[in-house]
Structure 1
Amino acid sequence: MADPFRFLPPGGVTGAEIRAGDWAGTPLGPPDAWPPALRSALSLMLSCPTAMFLAWGPDLLCFYNDAYRPILGYRLATALGRPFREVWASIWDEIAPLVAATLAGESQTLTDVMLDLSRNGQSEQAWWSFTYSPVLDEAGAISGLFCVTAETTGRVLGEARLRESEDHFRHTVELNPQVPWTCDPQGNITSYSNRWLELTGQAPGEPEGSGWTKALHPEDLPWTVTVFTHCLASGKPVDVDYRIRVAATGTYRWMRARAQPRRDADGAIVRWYGVVEDIHDRKLAEEGLREMNATLERRVAEALAQRKLWADVFETTDALVGALDTEYRFLAVNAAYADEFEDIYGLRPSVGANLLDLLSGYPEQRAAARAVWSRALAGEEFTVAEAFGDPGRRRPYYELKFTTLRDARGRRIGAFQYAQDITERLRHQEQLARAEEALRHAQQMEAVGQLTGGVAHDFNNLLTIIRSSVEFLRRPNLAEERRTRYLEAVSDTVDRAARLTSQLLAFARRQPLAPEVFDVGARLSGVADMLNAVTGARIRIVRELPNTRCHVRADPSQFETALVNLAVNARDAMDGEGTLTLRLSCGTELPPIRGHAGAPGPFAAVSVADEGPGVAPDLLGRIFEPFFTTKAVGKGTGLGLSQVIGFAKQSGGDVEVASADGRGAIFTLYLPEVDSPPPAEVAEAAGDAEAIEERALCVLVVEDNLEVGRFCTQLLEELGHATVWAHNAEAALSEMEKAPSRFDAVFSDVVMPGMGGVELARRLRAGHPELPVVLTTGYSDALARDDTHGFELVRKPYSAEQVARALRDVLARRRSGSKERAGTLDRAR
């Protein structure tokens, strides 16, 4: 009977399994019916020693050769003749695209593909190279695929280990404090660590060739190149010291370069390997050691003359000179020291005597001597002033200078003391200090007298107007026209009195400010438009404003008042005719002014320049004093510039004056710049204020002064509001606890016995954050020191309109804030 497998090569395990298989029940049928293309492919594959497999037919039945068998692992028992997809089900997702492309007629080659083969039933990562080729039948149609494969796991892992080793070596080199380097036989640098670039500041690639020499000290370059060239020619190891410029500090440091050649089998140099190490500290230590040796040699030569030197020097100086060893024994003492010591303590010191023993009868002086000498004997050099002697006798003061005493070898063996009697000098200094203090007190009293007299004069004038007007108003049958005139006089005089107190508080930097963040340029333009009415038609106002905006945080009302005061002074200086220049500079520094240090800023500088005669040099130091004025009687109070400098200082700035005789004066107001504020919803707030004005409120009034309290409640009731009056902050809190919802706002004094108004406002804000609080005060030291309390403020004396406006403003802001929060909640929903 003919062999149906005669097309198979003889031998081989896989060939035997194919012969032993029952193929009649498979899609291939008996071997006699197998197509010639399949027979040829099987014969070729089984004869090849390279691992390969064949997938044939629609089901891609699997055949392989003996070299492929280890790859199958646990799959080997069931792989022969089974569909390729079942055999390699664990990696089918990875190889399916390759199979599809091959069956479409495209040969596929992949190298170093990582696959999880699970050859032994466990997850196993391996790398493979594949070549997939289509197999054609007799009609030229693709009937299967043929794959030649080789495992590359060993090579891939080996290369990975090599890369890791190289990376480890590179990091080791870069972390080395030394600088490894290589060069070719001609001396051209070929590699170096980044440490060289960090030290020298050279760019990558710059040190290559001979570029490294650019980092050397010019004095060391010739010698270094000579040594390097000689070693390259002779093959001897390189060992040379030179200095390089360190980029981080700009200083030079000593380095040592060493190198050894590597030779080939014939002895020819193929490369030099070297390192550069930092030896700067060692160089300095060696230099210091050489200097020390020279010093010791010199001191040995001088040691023989030292005792004579002591004797000669000690006795020719006016100072009291003594020297102690580390045990407080006298090594030397001159006659002046011994005489003074004997005069004070009744004992005469001599060489070898112990200072502490001599002072045993004076415990206080003994402790003081031990304290200062212990510092000196420990090596400290210093100067002190001390009083010595019996408290019951004369106690002179001495200036004591201590210096270290060393032997010929530089070892510390004691200390010198040089004492100068400064009793008379201190007595003169004390007398001078008392005289200066008396002068300062007299000047202060003069200033207080001037200030008190000025305040009394101005207030008496104002009170005279008020008193006279009130007396006229009491007359019966007073004409309505005259009644109106007297009432306006009283109102105007009250405003002038309020301005006077405000200016005094501004000068003392005690005025309660209401700071806001505003654009200086815009505010300055607004003031300039208003100044025409103040300065008159013959004053031409020029504005010089930058294109950029700058903002400050200050009281806008006080800012405008300061500008008006400066403009009025400028107008008067020019006799009402000339050019007044308003200039703004942003982002400037604050220069040193009147002995005060400057500041880097940024500051907004607002300058007011006039064309008047200027300020006399002898008056520059007094122009900011309160009530000081050069104007005629009745032309000025002398408080305008006091308000300007007080406002500037309290706002974190200052005022500078530049003046030249006959060429005008420039007053520059400096205020710290801040970031611009967020845009405010002005229109909505204004609408709310109009709506609030139309309805009655219930206001809790907190005022400890009975007359002011009655006036305030009456004022609010005249405005159509209901009031509840609490005489102090504690009573106000009790009213709030009774029925907090009945109050629409709180109007509270700041200065009260017990809890103050600011603390009350903060407690109300914590417990009732939606309740508006308006504060009022004539003066409060707390508000003068802290302008960040965040509450609306109405200054006394106030008018009905001022109180009404303040209530409208706070209620409008509350309503605006409530709408904004409601909108936020709606958006969140």
Structure 2
Amino acid sequence: MPQAAIDQAHDLPFLAGGGDMAGRIRLHNWSATPLGPIETWPEALKAAVRIILRTPIPIVMLWGPSGVMIYNDGYTEFAADRHPGQLGANVREGWAEVADFNDNVMNICLGGETLSYRDQELTLIRNGAAQQVWMNLDYSPVLDEQGHPVGVMAIVVETTARVLADRRIAAEHERLQRLFEQAPSFMAMLRGENHIFEMVNPGYMKLVGNRDVVGKTVAEALPEVATQGFIDMLDTAFRTGEAVTGQALPVLLQRSEDQAPEQRYVDLVYQPIRNDENVVTQIFVQGSDVTERVLGERQQQLLMSELDHRVRNTLATVCAIATRTLRGATSLEEAEASLNARILALSRAQDILTRRSSDGAELGSVIAASVRSHSDDHQRFRINGPAIKLNSGAALAFSLALNELSTNATKYGALSVDSGLVHITWTVEQRDNKRFLLITWEETGGPVVSPPTRRGFGSTLIEEAVATETGGTTRLEYRPAGVLFTLDAPLEDIEEH
């Protein structure tokens, strides 16, 4: 406060203790305003000034019809660079950019009414620039000794920082809400120790079959999970405040009312949420439906087991073929040719099985692959029969047997002359409530056939190996008109299920 104002404070006791603004008011030339010299002010004005000067809240008084401005220390920060120029100015000139707004305030309050605004948005010129601000504004009439409104007391609290913070928080919340809704994983928020659904995202809705769960407890909304351990996991997370996790957890979910519960597998996290007092109040649920992954891994394990089994069997077969071929061969050249042919036949069968994973091989494909390598002329073969899917063991046995039959036909039988044909047919017959597969290999148009003088490994493969693998009965006849081979086997023993 200027020293002159301190020295004269005893002349104006209503200014005593009023801070910096009391000194400024004391020294201001009020004679140049409608209020006149400060010594002549009415008691109502002095009393109002005494009140606002001793209040820390930003207050400005608008006196008389023109709204002459008198304010306290708290208001100076709001006025910014317009202080101290606003002291003694009328409000229309003091805030020219919002003159219409203040005209309305003056008219209403000088009419005896009050006004109140919360987070009122205005654009003000402060520090040389237009600023968008928000304020809480309360306007009350000031009455003279006769009870007539002669001024307006305005409490001005700027809320710009809070409004902008609230908007940032709202925008962040909206962004998080969009992320919550668009997340590929499933999410939910549960409230309280009873685990009431507050929020769920589309991923969670899809997982539970789009059931209406919000506002219900987990036990009410998803009764089928009550006995599967998930509520116990939630209770643990809520009680201990520690996250509970699980991977590839099996869960039976009633995803449709008209269908049985469906087995799914989920990875999940139950994350406790604490309030300001560090008390767990909510649990955030996040996870992924990994059913396809789990089933894929199981299928892969089955394939690996099947591959291991198939490789072991193939190696055993190769060893047996090699041993028997070498034992029965009359020369190294014969052994080499026979061994190569038989291993190639085995390879063709394996190729068919590999292309079809572990689902077996179609009988027609096995036959076509087996005979293709023995004749470029497909017209030499007459192949006909229904679609039958063989298991891997039967496919390998048929492939080896067909290779031996084709080799013999090429060397000695129907395929050794241009006029010869091979008829391969198969049918399914119903006998005694069981189905049987009947396969016939019949050669025609070739040279006269006579039975071999010795029984070789090829004949053993054709008759015994096929019979053993299929559980059926084989018959190999060396008729003069051509070789005839038949197989009669229970279909259930050779068909892929």
Same fold (TM over 0.5): yes
Partner of 1:59: 66
CA contact (8 A) 1:224 1:241 kept: no
2:338 to 350, 354, 357: 350
1:191 aligned counterpart, secondary structure:
strand
Q: Which residues in structure 2 correspond to 1:692-731 (within 5 Å)?
A: none
**Amino acid across the alignment from 2:121:** M
CA contact (8 A) 1:183 1:191 kept: yes
Gaps of 5+ in 1: 312-330, 333-347, 357-371, 409-413, 427-829
- TM-score norm. by structure 1 comes to 0.37
Partner of 1:196: 204
Cα distance in 2 between the residues matched to 1:160 and 1:135: 36
Cα distance in 1 between the residues matched to 2:52 and 2:305: 92
Go from structure 1 to structure 2 and tell me whether the alpha carbon gap of 1:351 and 1:246 turns closer, same or farther (over 3 Å shift): farther
Go from structure 1 to structure 2 and tell me whether the alpha carbon gap of 1:7 and 1:56 turns closer, same or farther (over 3 Å shift): same
Partner of 2:447: none
CA contact (8 A) 2:115 2:139 kept: yes
Deviation string 1:157-180 (CA, Å, 9 cap, x unpaired) is 222222233333333333333333
Q: Which residues in structure 2 correspond to 1:1-40 (within 5 Å)?
A: 5-10=12-17, 12-40=19-47
Partner of 1:452: none
Cα distance in 1 between the residues matched to 2:309 and 2:374: 39
Cα distance in 1 between the residues matched to 2:317 and 2:110: 109
* Structure 1 residue 397, shift from structure 2 partner: 4.5
Go from structure 1 to structure 2 and tell me whether the alpha carbon gap of 1:214 and 1:66 turns closer, same or farther (over 3 Å shift): same
* Structure 1 residue 246, shift from structure 2 partner: 5.0
1:29 aligned counterpart, secondary structure:
coil
Partner of 1:287: 298
Cα distance in 2 between the residues matched to 1:130 and 1:291: 75
1:210 aligns with 2:210: no
Partner of 2:264: 253
2:177 to 170, 179, 184: 170
Identity, % of aligned positions? 24
1:164 aligned counterpart, secondary structure:
helix
**Amino acid across the alignment from 2:338:** S
Deviation string 1:453-498 (CA, Å, 9 cap, x unpaired) is xxxxxxxxxxxxxxxxxxxxxxxxxxxxxxxxxxxxxxxxxxxxxx
CA contact (8 A) 2:30 2:38 kept: yes
1:79 aligned counterpart, secondary structure:
coil
* Structure 1 residue 35, shift from structure 2 partner: 1.7
Partner of 1:152: 159
Go from structure 1 to structure 2 and tell me whether the alpha carbon gap of 1:129 and 1:33 turns closer, same or farther (over 3 Å shift): same
1:78 aligned counterpart, secondary structure:
coil
Cα distance in 1 between the residues matched to 2:238 and 2:30: 81
CA contact (8 A) 2:139 2:155 kept: yes
Higher relative contact order (CA 8 A, sep 6+): 2
1:75 aligns with 2:86: no
Deviation string 1:778-806 (CA, Å, 9 cap, x unpaired) is xxxxxxxxxxxxxxxxxxxxxxxxxxxxx
Say which structure is richer in strand.
Answer: 2
What is the total number of aligned residue pairs between the two structures? 368
Deviation string 1:517-537 (CA, Å, 9 cap, x unpaired) is xxxxxxxxxxxxxxxxxxxxx
Partner of 1:131: 138
* Structure 1 residue 396, shift from structure 2 partner: 2.4
Cα distance in 1 between the residues matched to 2:400 and 2:127: 88
**Amino acid across the alignment from 2:340:** G
* Structure 1 residue 229, shift from structure 2 partner: 8.3
CA contact (8 A) 1:178 1:275 kept: yes
CA contact (8 A) 2:53 2:73 kept: yes
Cα distance in 2 between the residues matched to 1:254 and 1:120: 63
1:243 to 236, 248, 252: 252
Cα distance in 2 between the residues matched to 1:234 and 1:4: 71
CA contact (8 A) 1:133 1:147 kept: yes
Cα distance in 2 between the residues matched to 1:7 and 1:192: 60
CA contact (8 A) 1:254 1:280 kept: yes
Partner of 2:100: 93
* Structure 1 residue 71, shift from structure 2 partner: 1.6
Go from structure 1 to structure 2 and tell me whether the alpha carbon gap of 1:77 and 1:387 turns closer, same or farther (over 3 Å shift): same
* Structure 1 residue 292, shift from structure 2 partner: 3.5
Partner of 2:119: 112
Deviation string 1:385-423 (CA, Å, 9 cap, x unpaired) is 9899699xx96256599x999999xxxxx9998779996
Partner of 2:288: 277
CA contact (8 A) 1:243 1:255 kept: no
**Amino acid across the alignment from 1:288:** Q
1:101 aligned counterpart, secondary structure:
helix
Cα distance in 2 between the residues matched to 1:238 and 1:180: 14
Cα distance in 2 between the residues matched to 1:208 and 1:42: 60
Go from structure 1 to structure 2 and tell me whether the alpha carbon gap of 1:257 and 1:245 turns closer, same or farther (over 3 Å shift): farther
Gaps of 5+ in 2: 1-6, 327-335, 394-398, 410-414, 425-497
**Amino acid across the alignment from 1:198:** K
**Amino acid across the alignment from 1:277:** S
CA contact (8 A) 1:389 1:395 kept: no
Cα distance in 2 between the residues matched to 1:187 and 1:84: 59
2:82 aligned counterpart, secondary structure:
helix
Deviation string 1:189-212 (CA, Å, 9 cap, x unpaired) is 333422222332102427534134
Cα distance in 1 between the residues matched to 2:76 and 2:206: 58
CA contact (8 A) 2:381 2:423 kept: no
**Amino acid across the alignment from 1:241:** P
Deviation string 1:618-655 (CA, Å, 9 cap, x unpaired) is xxxxxxxxxxxxxxxxxxxxxxxxxxxxxxxxxxxxxx
1:396 aligns with 2:380: yes
1:180 to 167, 182, 187: 187
Q: Which residues in structure 2 correspond to 1:410-809 (within 5 Å)?
A: none
CA contact (8 A) 1:388 1:396 kept: no
Cα distance in 1 between the residues matched to 2:234 and 2:343: 68
**Amino acid across the alignment from 1:13:** D
Partner of 1:306: 317
* Structure 1 residue 232, shift from structure 2 partner: 7.2
* Structure 1 residue 134, shift from structure 2 partner: 0.6
CA contact (8 A) 1:181 1:189 kept: no
CA contact (8 A) 1:112 1:156 kept: yes
Go from structure 1 to structure 2 and tell me whether the alpha carbon gap of 1:7 and 1:262 turns closer, same or farther (over 3 Å shift): closer
* Structure 1 residue 68, shift from structure 2 partner: 0.7
Q: Over aligned residue pairs, what C-alpha RMSD do you find? A: 5.2
* Structure 1 residue 52, shift from structure 2 partner: 0.6
Cα distance in 2 between the residues matched to 1:82 and 1:8: 19
**Amino acid across the alignment from 1:292:** L
Go from structure 1 to structure 2 and tell me whether the alpha carbon gap of 1:415 and 1:255 turns closer, same or farther (over 3 Å shift): farther
1:241 aligned counterpart, secondary structure:
strand
2:184 aligned counterpart, secondary structure:
coil
Cα distance in 1 between the residues matched to 2:146 and 2:267: 80
CA contact (8 A) 2:269 2:286 kept: yes
* Structure 1 residue 12, shift from structure 2 partner: 3.2
Go from structure 1 to structure 2 and tell me whether the alpha carbon gap of 1:252 and 1:118 turns closer, same or farther (over 3 Å shift): farther
CA contact (8 A) 1:74 1:119 kept: yes
Cα distance in 2 between the residues matched to 1:147 and 1:400: 104
Go from structure 1 to structure 2 and tell me whether the alpha carbon gap of 1:154 and 1:187 turns closer, same or farther (over 3 Å shift): same
* Structure 1 residue 5, shift from structure 2 partner: 3.8
- TM-score norm. by structure 2 comes to 0.59
CA contact (8 A) 2:218 2:231 kept: no
Partner of 1:224: 229
CA contact (8 A) 2:198 2:215 kept: no
Deviation string 1:430-470 (CA, Å, 9 cap, x unpaired) is xxxxxxxxxxxxxxxxxxxxxxxxxxxxxxxxxxxxxxxxx
2:229 aligned counterpart, secondary structure:
helix
* Structure 1 residue 273, shift from structure 2 partner: 4.1
